[in-house]
Amino acid sequence: VRPFPLAPDAAPAVAALAVERGWLPHEEAWRIALAVGEGVGFSEPGGPLDAMALLVPHGPGDAVLSVLSSPRVSGQGLGRRAAEAVLGRTGLRGVEMHAPPAGRTFAERLGFRAAGSSTRFVGRLAGVAKVAADLPGGASLRPVGGADFPAVVAVDEVAFGATRRPLLEALFGRARRACLAVAGGRTVGYGVSWSDGEQLVVGPVVAEEESVGVAMIGWLAGGAGDLDARVDVPDEGRGALTAVAALGLAPRGRIARLVRGPGASAGRRERLHALAAPWAG
C-alpha cells in the first residue's frame, strides 16, 4: 500500500477513522487540518482509510505531527509508515506531537520526548461567566475586527515561537466568537472559539496576564449555545484550570506534548491558556 495525499475532501474518511478509535468525528476540524496541513493516507484499493498522518506547519521549519490508524490494522507498522511518509519532508527542523496516554509510547518510539501536557475539559456550560470589569493593567476585551488580524498573528507568534497565520485564518473562518485584549493601546492577548461540528472549541487563548486569559475563556465559552464546550488547557495555564472547572466543564483526560529536534523553544508558552486542538499544536 502506498501513501496518497489527503485533500480537505478526505475529511469524512478521516472522521470515520477517528470514530473507529472511539473518538468524535470532528469532521469540520479535520477539514481545516487538511486544508492548512499536509496529510497522507493509506488504504487498500477501494477500501476505507487504514491510516493517516498529518503535518501542520508552525512557521517555515517547524510542524505538528498527528497520526491515526485503524484498530483493524493495529500493530502492523502502518502508523509508523504514515508518520515517516510526512516526516521525510525536506527542510523540517523541530516537530511536536500531542498524544493521548495510549499514543505516548508510539510517539516515543518515533524519537519524540515529553515536553509538557495539557488537560481536556468538556461539558455543557453551567452558567455565563461574568467578565471582570477591572482586568490587570487596565486591559479590556473587545470583539476582533478584520483590521486586528496582524496583531492577532503577532501575539500568537510570540507565544508559540512560530508564525501560524494560515492556521489562524482557517480557525477565524469558523469562529463563533473572537476577542482581543487591549491595554494602553497595545494588544496583550486574543482568543477565539469555533465550532468543529460537535463541540464549541475554546482556543487558542493567548494572553500575557493569566487573569486576562481566564476572562477571555469565560466570554468565548458563552457562545456555545446548545453545543458542549471543549477547552484544552496546557499545564502552564493554572488559572484557566480553575476557570473551566467553575464553568461546569469536567476533565476528560490528559494530552502529552512531545517534541523531536530543536523544538519551538523560542515561544512564551506561559502565555497559553487554551489550545485549539492536538493537531494544531
Please identify which residue in 32, 34, 55, 107 interacts with ligand COA, judged by CB under 6 A: 107
106 belongs to the binding site for ligand COA (CB under 6 A): yes
123 with 248: CB under 8 angstroms? yes
Sole window of 70-78, 204-212, 232-240, 244-252 interacting with ligand COA (rule: CB under 6 A): 70-78
Give the residue with the Cβ less far from ligand COA, 117 or 211. 117
Nearer to ligand COA, 78 or 192 (CB): 78
Stretch of 75-83, 136-144, 145-153, 218-226 lying at the interface with ligand COA (CB under 6 A): 75-83
Q: Does 109 bind ligand COA (CB under 6 A)?
A: yes
Identify the residue among 37, 57, 94, 103 touching ligand COA (CB under 6 A). 103
Contact range with ligand COA by CB under 6 A, out of 105-113, 153-161, 185-193, 225-233:
105-113
Cβ atoms 39, 264 nearer than 8 A: no
- Omega within 30 of 0 (cis) for the link into 204: yes
Segment lying near ligand COA (by CB under 6 A), choices 24-32, 72-80, 159-167, 236-244? 72-80
**Is 66 buried (19+), middle (13-18) or exposed (0-12) by CB count in 10 A?**
buried
Question: In 10 A of CB 120, how many CB atoms?
Answer: 19
Rounded least distance, CB 196 to ligand COA, Å: 17
**Cα(105)–Cα(121) distance, integer angstroms:** 23
Q: Is 21 in the site for ligand COA (CB under 6 A)?
A: yes
Q: What are phi and psi of 272, to 5 degrees?
A: -90, 125
Q: For residue 3, what is its C-alpha cell?
A: 501513501
Binder to ligand COA among 8, 59, 61, 100 (CB under 6 A)?
Answer: 100
Q: Which of residues 120-179 bind ligand COA (CB under 6 A)?
A: none
Comparison of 67 and 206: residue with beta carbon closer to ligand COA: 67
Judged by CB under 6 A, does residue 265 bind ligand COA?
no
C-alpha cell of 230?
471543549
CB of 232 to ligand COA, least distance (A): 14
CA distance 221 to 130: 11
Q: Is there binding between residue 54 and ligand COA (CB under 6 A)?
A: no
Element (H, E) at 190: strand 186-195
Cell of 123: 461539558
CA-CA-CA-CA torsion sign (102, 233, 63, 269): negative
d(CA 216, CA 196): 19
Binding stretches for ligand COA (CB under 6 A)? 21, 66-69, 74-80, 97, 99-100, 102-103, 105-107, 109
